[in-house]
């Protein structure tokens, strides 16, 4: 039966390409195969598999925002080149995977009354996952594309128009709140066999709170940036409230690692639960013959994480590079993150021999995953990091709360900022070169979350895009921003099956 459910899901997803042209199904017929939790679990697992595999994959904004002194292959994307974001050459602008997972979430929610022989608590678990997935993905749609489609049901026919950005964000908030209300704490989570969950890929009360903290911070920022109707102050207060629930352990037992070094060890160990981590994208070594990891830092790393690489490979085999001098400028000498996040930094930065490249070697994640390779002299090859990716962790939440406090002119921003600096052994705010409090918080997120893929959205939330991104962003006019330059264009494949959606105005002028 599980195989049957999986095949049926594939048929449904194929039938509703990009979820804009939905083939109607009889809801009661769909519900007939939910006769046990195993069948319900098949849908939940497939929904989460899509997130694990594709949620962070090919996010052009992550490439645009990443700190890098040198890049190989992403210069055009980072400089807003239309040719790099055109349907004919770009993998970055297709939202199909988002809507495929939303479709599966709707499939669960629409047929919950038809689920048979499953305890109410277990039904709630899967319903909560569906709400969490919808909240997470509508949030990501709002950040990447601004305007997006809000689907009504799996059986609705006809084309959908895109909805305004705030409506997409509010849809995410509604679903995230429902997830929060129904899901248990992480430590109370159990799997289908009744075992305590040890993975953080699935939604829980803490993950829903983190989602809501980010949603309200983003909503307030969009109101401020675009002049949308709404109360940004109230949004920042909401974000602070949700962050505070996480920080005060009201929604789970999350706590900061004691040192940056301990944090790196946790992030490099798939067998130990990371107490700082709130929501993760799990490494699945069985997904394919060549497993992939969503750890975004894979674009920075070859040597020394890859035990078969040599120092000489580093200069040619990476995508993004950071100079030693850049890292010296970001982290003060007494900041423990410099030596925890970068491999033998003092030794490497002081070595003038030909064997050192002048680059810093990211070492936040330390363990490689290897697969059999008949063409390799060693019989195996480096595939990716042997690590889960902590998408939200408690340090992020402290600094998000600090950002919202700073926007409200609340001095408590300094306390949250200094909590993270204190762990790092860095000088407390105000320190030399800090500037205003909001900017100091932004730069602290840059230090703490380096290579974790969040920087573009941090830049946009704080309206620093003209100074903190590539020169192409400095040339954007106010009208360009208003017309959608900070969002991605919609894929042409979406227009092919839906003639009522419209490209955002900035990109429509360039294509």
pLDDT confidence of residue 17: 39
CATH fold group of domain 2-183+487-508:
1.25.40
Mind giving me the DSSP string for 96-109? HHHHHHHHHHHHHH
Q: Quick check: 360 and 326 in contact, CB under 8 A?
A: yes
Q: Residue 12: which residues within 8 A CB-CB, separation 6 or more? A: 23, 25, 103, 107, 154
Percent of the chain's residues with pLDDT above 70: 91
Q: Quick check: 215 and 177 in contact, CB under 8 A?
A: no
Mean pLDDT (whole number) for 92-104: 93
For residue 14, give the H/E element and its range.
helix 2-15
Q: Quick check: 166 and 230 in contact, CB under 8 A?
A: yes
pLDDT confidence of residue 158: 73
Q: Residue 370: which residues within 8 A CB-CB, separation 6 or more? A: 380, 381, 382, 383
90-99, 299-308, 331-340, 380-389 — most confident range: 331-340
Model pLDDT for residues 5-21, shown as the tens digit of each residue: 444 444 344 434 334 43
pLDDT > 90? residue 443: yes
Mean pLDDT (whole number) for 365-377: 90
Among the residue ranges 116-125, 351-360, 430-439, 453-462, the one predicted with the least confidence is 351-360
Model pLDDT for residues 449-474, shown as the tens digit of each residue: 999 999 999 999 999 999 999 999 99
Residues present in the chain in total: 511
Helices 2-15, 96-110: axis angle to 10 degrees equals: 120
Q: How far apart are CA 411 and CA 405, in angstroms?
A: 7
Q: Quick check: 175 and 134 in contact, CB under 8 A?
A: yes
Give me 313's structure tokens. Answer: 């490979």
The torsion of the CA quartet 22, 24, 27, 33, rounded to 10 degrees, works out to -80
- Name the residue ranges covered by the structural domains of the chain: 2-183+487-508, 296-387
Q: How far apart are CA 379 and CA 336, in angstroms?
A: 38
Q: Residue 352: which residues within 8 A CB-CB, separation 6 or more? A: none
Q: Residue 302: which residues within 8 A CB-CB, separation 6 or more? A: 309, 313, 314, 317, 318, 382
Model pLDDT for residues 227-271, shown as the tens digit of each residue: 999 999 999 999 999 999 999 999 999 999 999 999 999 999 999
Q: How far apart are CA 487 and CA 98, in angstroms?
A: 16
HSE (side-chain half, CA atoms, 13 Å) at 38: 4
Q: Quick check: 256 and 423 in contact, CB under 8 A?
A: yes
Model pLDDT for residues 267-306, shown as the tens digit of each residue: 999 999 999 999 999 988 766 556 667 888 888 888 899 9
Mind giving me the DSSP string for 395-426? HHHHHHHHHHHHHTT-THHHHHHHHHHHHHTP
pLDDT > 60? residue 27: no
Give me 279's structure tokens. Answer: 């929501």
């Amino acid at each position: 039966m599980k195989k049957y459910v999986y095949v049926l899901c594939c048929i449904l997803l194929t039938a509703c390409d990009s979820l804009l042209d939905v083939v109607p199904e009889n809801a009661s017929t769909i519900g007939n195969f939910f006769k046990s939790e195993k069948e319900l679990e098949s849908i939940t697992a497939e929904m989460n598999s899509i997130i694990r595999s594709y949620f962070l994959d090919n996010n052009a904004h992550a490439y645009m925002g990443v700190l890098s002194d040198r890049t190989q292959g992403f210069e055009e994307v980072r400089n807003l080149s239309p040719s790099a974001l055109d349907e004919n050459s770009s993998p970055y602008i297709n939202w199909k995977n988002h809507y495929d997972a939303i479709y599966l979430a709707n499939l669960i929610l629409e047929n919950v009354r038809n689920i048979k022989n499953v305890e109410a608590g277990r039904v709630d678990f899967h319903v909560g996952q569906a709400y969490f997935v919808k909240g997470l993905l509508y949030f990501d749609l709002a950040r990447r594309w601004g305007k997006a489609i809000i689907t009504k049901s799996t059986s609705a026919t006809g084309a959908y128009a895109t909805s305004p950005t705030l409506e997409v964000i509010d849809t995410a908030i509604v679903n995230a709140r429902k997830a929060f209300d129904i899901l248990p704490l992480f430590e109370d989570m159990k799997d289908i066999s009744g075992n305590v969950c040890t993975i953080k890929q699935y939604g829980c009360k803490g993950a829903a709170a983190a989602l809501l903290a980010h949603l309200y911070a983003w909503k307030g920022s969009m109101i401020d940036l675009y002049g949308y109707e709404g109360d940004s102050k109230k949004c920042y207060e909401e974000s602070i409230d949700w962050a505070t629930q996480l920080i005060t352990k009201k929604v789970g037992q999350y706590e900061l690692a004691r040192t940056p070094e301990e944090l790196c060890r946790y992030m490099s160990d798939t067998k130990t639960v990371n107490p700082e981590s709130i929501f993760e994208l799990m490494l699945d070594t069985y997904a394919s013959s060549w497993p992939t990891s969503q750890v975004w830092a894979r674009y920075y790393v070859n040597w020394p994480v890859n035990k078969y690489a040599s120092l000489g490979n580093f200069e040619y085999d990476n995508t993004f590079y950071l100079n030693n001098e850049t890292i010296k400028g970001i982290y003060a000498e007494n900041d423990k993150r410099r030596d925890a996040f970068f491999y033998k930094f003092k030794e490497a930065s002081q070595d003038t021999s030909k064997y050192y490249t002048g680059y810093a070697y990211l070492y936040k994640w330390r363990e490689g995953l290897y697969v059999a390779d008949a063409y390799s002299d060693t019989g195996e090859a480096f595939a990716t990091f042997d690590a889960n990716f902590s998408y939200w962790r408690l340090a992020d939440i402290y600094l998000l709360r600090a950002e919202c406090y700073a926007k409200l002119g609340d001095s408590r921003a300094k306390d949250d900022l200094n909590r993270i600096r204190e762990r790092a052994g860095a000088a407390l705010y105000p320190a030399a070169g800090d500037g205003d409090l909001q900017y100091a918080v932004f730069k602290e997120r840059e230090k703490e979350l380096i290579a974790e893929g969040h920087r573009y959205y941090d830049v946009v939330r704080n309206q620093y895009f003209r100074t903190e991104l590539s020169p192409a962003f400095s040339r954007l006019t106010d009208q360009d921003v208003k017309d959608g330059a900070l969002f991605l264009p919609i894929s042409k494949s979406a227009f092919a099956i839906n003639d009522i959606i419209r490209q955002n105005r900035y990109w429509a002028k360039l294509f």
